[in-house]
Chain A
Amino acid sequence: SRPFFDKHIPNQRKKVYEEKPKPIGTFPVEIQETLLLEDLLHAMNSVEGVYIRRINVENEYESSRYVYRVEPDEEQSTCDFSLLYLIGKILPMCNNHDRVLEFVSTHSHFEYGQVSQALCGAINILLKEYLVLVTQLDTEFVKGNLTLQKTWFYIQQSMRMMENLNKLAVDAADKRGGALLNVIYKFLTITSDKSIKELFSFLLEKAAEPFLKILMKWIYFGVLNDPFDEFLVEEDPSMNKDNIEKDFNDSYWQKRFTFREDMIPIFLGKLSIKILHTGKYLNVIRECGKEIKHPCEQEIKISINQSVLNKGNSQASLIQHKDFSEPIETAHSWSSQRLLDLFLVEERLMDRIKSIKHYFFLDLGDFFIHFFDSADKYLENNTKEVSNDKLKSLLEMAIRTSTANADPFKDDLTCELNNYSLIEQIFVMQNIRGAFGTNAYAADAGSGQRHNFPQVPISGMNSIQNYKCVDSFTLDYKVQWPLTLIISRRAITKYQLIFRHLFLCKYIERHLGNSWLMHQGTKELNLDTFLLASYNLRHRMHHFCKNYVYYIVVEVLEPNFHKFKQNMEKVKTVDEILELHNTFLDQCLKECLLTDQNLLKIVIKIVNCCFFFSRIMHRQAATIQEEDSVLTAQNMVIDTNEGPSAYCKYRQTKINAERESAKKAITESGYKSMIEKFTKTFDTNLKQFMNAIKASHYDPYISNLLMRLDFNGFYAENLLSQFEGFG
């Protein structure tokens, strides 16, 4: 079957008239006028007449267009000059009418979208009024009452309308949706003619109708029902919410719904951000499978401020902002409140974060003591030799036997052995993203591609086997939608960084504590002179570790968390929560020195030095005791019958034996130099550390640490000055 007849496209076939009409000039002027009037009425209806016909003109502005001319075939029209002039003034309206018709017939097609269709519908109404006018003129004409002058008078209004409609049609040629509304709005604002203003406000009202329907669906239900891509919000279905649990760089929250920049209506102004957020919030609620029953649903309409229209004063805004700004504001506040409730009340966000803090910030001390006690020997091993499951079961045991058992979310905690050491992990993260201390919004601007960072190959990285378990041990926390929005993989990773650092320091502090215990055992051997250096060093190391851990826990994490908690009580929107949480974590990272690679490297060097030292102390004590037990086995069988004096005697002998063996061990040349070496390394690094802190211009948080480390000026007096000499 043939396509529908498209009446409005000018017939482009060159008509060949078999019988050329007589030149109009051969008639008397009155008859000329009648003939022209008849043709003019046809032309107003987009039909060519006998004398007034279309001709294709090409000028510098437009490549090719059809315009009406009187007797276009003749070089010079034979028509009466004044008639010709008058009709020449009317004909542009016919041209405009042609083009408006064309616009309407093409732009009401489906591909131009609902706004365009609605606009065409509105223009059609205007065109019908125009048609009525033409028919009236025709009736007059049939009665014989019509003259060109009269016509000119009658069509004044329509001429202006047609002219403006044509202008609109030209500007709106390829526009759709919000962009089209903007074009209409532009015309509305730039015209000062009252009737034309009315015209455009009518068009705007009608054309915005479908757009506002989409808007209402979006802000009241969170549903984006926009089949022709006309709305100011765009959905990216490839952004999957499942990814947010796994991918460090996932930007579901930022990328799932975005502005379609060119579709934002100007008159919505700043409200557009609220519109985006409103729907986004509702969408999250919907994704949780919850029903949305909006209490304050109301029709949104654009209405034109009549007073502005009438008085023509341009002070007040042309569109009554209140009409749609109020419902949008209420919808926004309702949905953000609803989502807040979802997070804070139903999902118990704060409890979650507190629970995470318990574990990642070593908040529950007894839990970790339990864990250390049972997992100590595994943590020293290489990662290859330890099964993650063993650690998991130990972790679970530790949770269940400590106060952590009361935590309702304890089951979500697991642990893993990370493939990277702490420094490497930070390095990788910074490589991917530049400084990772930026907040999520800024950071996402430049990241088109996504990385899943544990898979990023970094040349020169050590393979996994080389790590001690304690270096790669980290906790992990299972988070479920919708909490993943806030506690995203990124946030968890930041928690993990802090945890790993803290965990290592705590672990080493514990080991130094153990060496203290062993040193206590040597007190009675009377070897103070020999052991003094190692006592001294051990003490200083212990001092450092303790204060460092104290600094992190008490001076950084706790106050920051407290601040975060306080801020959380005042939040209004989820975006605020996100930002607060991010700043909280970034601040913690920064104050834990995790953002400063140089400082961090020194700290790691110091603690590692402490760690090796404690290990060596441990080994040494073990050998002494072993020898001791060998001795005991050889010589001594206590005769219990001989009473306490015998025991004393036995003990004395034992001590003597131990002393001998210990003396033998520590007077070996190796021992002394070893201790000296340790002392030197420790001191150098400590000095570097303190100097670096000083060089960082005494950031307020860090100067405290410095003061604590050197509270009685010991280092300032001895160490630093002494080393200054070395250069």
Chain B
Amino acid sequence: LKSFRYRSQDISEEALCKDLLYVFQGIDGQNISFSILEDSFVLAPNVNVSESTRKLVTEMCELGWLYKKVNDFMNRNIDSTYCDQVTQSLCFAFQAELTEFYRLIAILENQHQNYDETDPANCLNLRKLYLHIQEPMERMKWLAIIVDSIQGLKGGTIISSIHSYVLHGSPVTKMLLSKLLREVSAPILTMIKTWMIEGELNDPFQEFFVSMDPNVPNDLIWTQKYDLKPSMIPSFLTNDFARKILLTGKAVNFIKKCCHEEDWVLDANEHIPFNADTFSSDENSYSTLQNWVDHAYKVTNKELIELMFDKYQFLTHCRALRKYLLLGQGDFIQNLMDSMVNELSKPAGQLYKYNLLGILESAVRSSNANMTDSEFLKRLDVRLLEASPGDNGWDIFSLDYKIDAPINTILTPEIIQGYLKIFSLLWKLKRVEHSLNKTWVQQTSYKNELYSLKEIRSDLHRCNLLRNEMLHYINNLHSYLQVEVIESEWKKFQEDLDHAEDLYDIMRVQRKFIEVIHKRAMLTHEHIELYQLMIKIFEQIHQFSRTQDILYSSALEEYHKRQSMMDDGDEYSQVISPDASNTLKQLGKYYRANFDKFNEALSILEIDEKYLSFRLDFNEFYKDSRERESISQI
């Protein structure tokens, strides 16, 4: 019977099996060899076998082709000096798979060797071979698919690419792929661990998702030195997660290099063990990783924040800034204003920093600012801006606050500049208030004398009215800025600080604080019109106080003259300072016009500033008078 089975074949099944066993390892056999033309192993066409046998053999040859593909890939990459770590570990994973495969082939080979004519049941034939290679074929196919899919990729992208296959529904495939994924992720996970614990980047092949710019100095560790490479983030990590990893490592570096705490070590492993080797794609180990990263992130950043707050006293710096630059310390500012008035009225050229520093010093000494720690007081400084011709001291004077590392990572020069901008506005306001107060003193002290001069009574009255109006404006503006803007924002700022989780949060909160104040204090570009109006009104108030000065001095002169004349009994004839009285009228008009414009511009803003507008015209005095005017025009 047997003769029928192989009746028309030149070649025995045993020979075919032997050849195939070689082919499975990518080696040409006697009758089966690799054909470049067809890109596969083929049974020599001149061998006469039955059609069905040929088909069976062709199917099995596919395994050889797949093996060749995988093996080629490994040969290309196994040389570890050129190839990145992820690819290397992929190769090792492949290697392990192939070892299994070799074992199987060895067993089959053994069975083949033990071929015994008498015992056909145990001998290896094509069909048995076919059965045995079903599973290896499937595995090899997946390896080959992966080889195809990671062509030209490296690092995190390879992981992402393999991760996309892990979702396969078939349990066998899933297991294989998860194993591969685990192997492949190991180097990245090790990098994550070193990065998060030691802050070291050990990444010769640029495959990690955090990159470092070696040219950036240590001062800028937080802001510029490190960056995320989004393409390299493995797809099983979310972007948010990657950001946490970046921040943690950054914080470690910051603590070590900028805060000079070289000894500090994260002991996160105590709480949650983290082992790169046991990681797999399933939920559990992923959440372990997540917990570990979360924990490390929290601990490190908490440490950093504590350092900032305790060792470097960030909050005290902020308080000092608020006290001095945002005029929070009233008596100090009042003192400073009083003693600076004369000095600052000089032209810019005659201003000397040491003089001003002296005044500042005495203002500090004579006020409660004295109670502040000298550590912070000595940072207080005077800054003189670039003077342009015609400027006087007021234009170029500014207080300053010096910040050094590492706090300057948060309180960057831009932030300080923002504080200075607010200071400049408040200082101007304070100055206007100061000069208005002086006019009041003038009015009150000479009231009795001057009211006897009948012809200027109306002018005096006008002065009084105008001063009141201006004072109303200035007071409201001042209280709006100081109470509604700065204080309320300060409160929010402190609350936000309590919730800050990392340095980045603090920076954001700090920036937000300044930005919101700028916006609400009309210092941003979109409110430029309002700001200019405000400055114009300030200017008019100064003009007013000057004019009143002139009026009063000439009137006083006249008064004394008349006093002496009365004694002589002579007639008096002179009209007192007509210019001043005209200017006064003009001023009143312009002031009102500007004020109206300001108020109008205010009232179309968002709700917060609008309340200022209500307050400025709380009893609708201005509205009514506008209406009266418009009626009278008709």
Contacts and interface: CB of A to CB of B under 8 A. Distances in A.
Contacts, number: 114
A39 B614 CA distance: 101
Interface string A77-120: 00000000000000000000000000000001010011111111
B1 A117 contact: no
Contact of A31 (B4, B130, B144, B607): B4
Contact of A5 (B40, B52, B130): B40
A597 interface: no
A114 B166 CA distance: 11
A117 B168 contact: yes
A76 to B, nearest CB: 23
Interface in A1-19: 1-2, 4-5, 7, 11, 15, 17
Interface in B116-142: 120-121, 125, 127-128, 130-131, 134-135, 141
Contacts of A49: 50-52
A120 B603 CA distance: 71
A185 B134 CA distance: 29
B52 A39 contact: yes
A110 B174 CA distance: 13
B170 A117 contact: yes
A637 interface: no
B172 interface: yes
Contacts of B603: 387, 389
Contact of B169 (A2, A17, A113, A128): A113
A134 B4 contact: no
Contact of B1 (A34, A115, A120): A34
Interface string B26-62: 0000000000000110000000001110011001001
Interface string A382-395: 00000101101100
Contact of A121 (B55, B148, B169): B169
Contacts of A50: 50-52
A191 B247 CA distance: 60
A12 to B, nearest CB: 14
A387 B605 CA distance: 13
Given A1-B39, A118-B171, A393-B614, A132 B120 contact: no
The range of chain B's interface size is: 35 or more
Interface string A197-232: 000000000100110000001000000000110000
A38 interface: yes
Given A50-B52, A144-B1, A139 B120 contact: yes
A206 to B, nearest CB: 8
A135 interface: yes
Interface string A321-334: 00000000000000
B169 A135 contact: no
Contact of A116 (B65, B169, B283): B169
Contact of A47 (B56, B69, B128): B56
A48 B55 contact: yes
Contacts of B144: 4
A41 interface: yes
Contacts of B1: 31, 34, 144
A206 B172 CA distance: 12
A142 B120 contact: yes
B127 A138 contact: yes
Interface centre among A1, A47, A206, by most chain B C-beta atoms within 10 angstroms, is A47
B134 A128 contact: yes
A697 interface: no
Contacts of B168: 110, 114, 117
A41 B610 contact: no
A42 B52 contact: yes
Contacts of B52: 39, 42, 47-50
Contact of B167 (A48, A128, A227): A227
Given A128-B134, A131-B131, A389-B603, A142 B125 contact: yes
Interface residues of A, number: 53
Nearest to A228: B167
Nearest to A221: B283
A185 B1 CA distance: 48
B22 interface: no
A35 interface: yes
Contacts of A135: 127-128, 130-131
A217 B607 CA distance: 45
A20 interface: no
B120 A34 contact: no
B51 A15 contact: yes
Given A47-B55, A48-B51, A135-B128, A121 B40 contact: no
A143 interface: yes
B311 interface: no
A243 interface: no
A571 B173 CA distance: 47
B468 to A, nearest CB: 24
Interface in A115-157: 115-121, 124, 128, 131-132, 134-135, 138-139, 142-144
A681 interface: no
B271 interface: no
Contacts of A392: 607
B454 interface: no
A41 B614 CA distance: 98
B293 to A, nearest CB: 15
Contacts of B55: 11, 47-48
Nearest to A35: B4
A402 interface: no
Interface string A47-82: 111100000000000000000000000000000000
Nearest to B122: A139
Contacts of B5: 34, 38, 142
Contacts of B170: 108, 117-118, 120-121, 124
A135 B127 CA distance: 6
B2 interface: yes
Contacts of B51: 15, 17, 48-50
Given A114-B168, A114-B169, A128-B134, A7 B59 contact: yes
A45 interface: yes
B40 A389 contact: no
Given A47-B56, A50-B50, A144-B2, A131 B169 contact: no
B616 to A, nearest CB: 13
B607 A389 contact: yes
B172 to A, nearest CB: 6
Interface string B248-285: 00000000000000000000000000000000000100
Contact of A134 (B127, B135, B167): B127
Contacts of B292: none
A2 B607 CA distance: 68
Nearest to A11: B55
A121 B171 contact: yes
A704 to B, nearest CB: 44
A35 B145 CA distance: 40
Contact of A143 (B40, B120, B148): B120
A681 B167 CA distance: 77
B611 interface: yes
Nearest to B55: A47
Q: Give the residue among A42, A120, A128, A209 with the most B Cβ atoms within 10 A.
A: A42
Contact of A115 (B169, B171, B611): B169
B121 A139 contact: yes
B50 to A, nearest CB: 6
Given A121-B173, A124-B170, A142-B5, 5 more contacts: A7-B62, A38-B5, A42-B56, A45-B130, A217-B283
A-B pairs, 8 with minimum CB distance: A121-B170, A117-B169, A114-B169, A118-B169, A5-B62, A42-B52, A142-B120, A210-B169
28 contacts: A1-B69, A5-B40, A5-B62, A11-B55, A17-B51, A31-B1, A34-B1, A35-B4, A42-B52, A45-B127, A45-B130, A47-B55, A48-B51, A114-B167, A118-B170, A118-B171, A120-B169, A121-B169, A131-B130, A132-B131, A135-B128, A138-B125, A139-B128, A142-B125, A144-B2, A389-B607, A389-B610, A389-B614
